[in-house]
Amino acid sequence: MDAPLLWTKAEAELAERAGWVGDVSYVRARMRIPHRWLLGEGLLPRWGGWLVWLLQRCVGRLDVVQARLRNYRGDQPAEDHVLAVLGFNHGVEGHLEIDTLGDAADWQVDVMGSVRAASCAGDLRQERIRGLTTLYQSIGTHQDTEPAVGESHIREALFLSQWIRQSARLQSSLTRREARRT
């Protein structure tokens, strides 16, 4: 499982910008991954869960998912394109799109609110390098803080990935409760 935005300031930046917009009403997230980075597991387990997890931490708990997955390239056993309509608590709506259809390696989140809109974006190649550098520099040092990702975060990211896949497989909107039941 890859967490491309984990060791960056993406979450703090997104949370700060979401605070500028007033009451958040809509969020749109896009991530493009080079097809060479995709292994056989598909987009969702490796990349998708973390982007949705980041959105949840910044705009609120995800309540409803309606997703569509496609394999346009045909050279992988799993999806290379994810498109989902998201419903968060407090009535916040959103769209998520992740693909490996080209060589781009970037992400962007747009947040619309009652006062204004704000965007947050980054280059995944640069952020992975900075994140890995930070991680490697911390090896062997004492950390007084909690790790950025704990077991519960990993479980939640995997659950979000499975929820999106389940919605696409059933071709239906699924609530969190329905996703946990099956």
Tokens 């916040």 appear where? 92
Share of the chain above pLDDT 70, in %: 77
| pTM, two decimal places | 0.80
Tokens 């803080």 appear where? 145
Q: Is 29 or 18 the better-scoring residue by pLDDT? A: 29
Question: Looking at the domain 10-137+146-177, which fold is it?
Answer: Dihydrodipicolinate Reductase; domain 2 (3.30.360)
Per-residue pLDDT at 71: 86
pLDDT > 70? residue 144: no
Per-residue pLDDT at 20: 76
The domain segmentation of the chain, as residue ranges, is: 10-137+146-177
Q: What is the pLDDT of residues 81-102, one digit of tens each?
A: 999 999 999 899 999 999 988 8
Query: In the structure, what pLDDT confidence band is assigned to residue 142 with cuts at 50, 70 and 90?
Result: low
Q: In what order do the strands lie in the sheet with 117-123?
A: 117-123, 106-113, 24-32, 93-99, 81-88, 62-70, 174-175
Question: Is 180 in a helix, a strand, or coil?
Answer: helix
Q: What is the pLDDT of residues 31-65, one digit of tens each?
A: 998 888 877 777 887 777 888 888 888 889 999 99
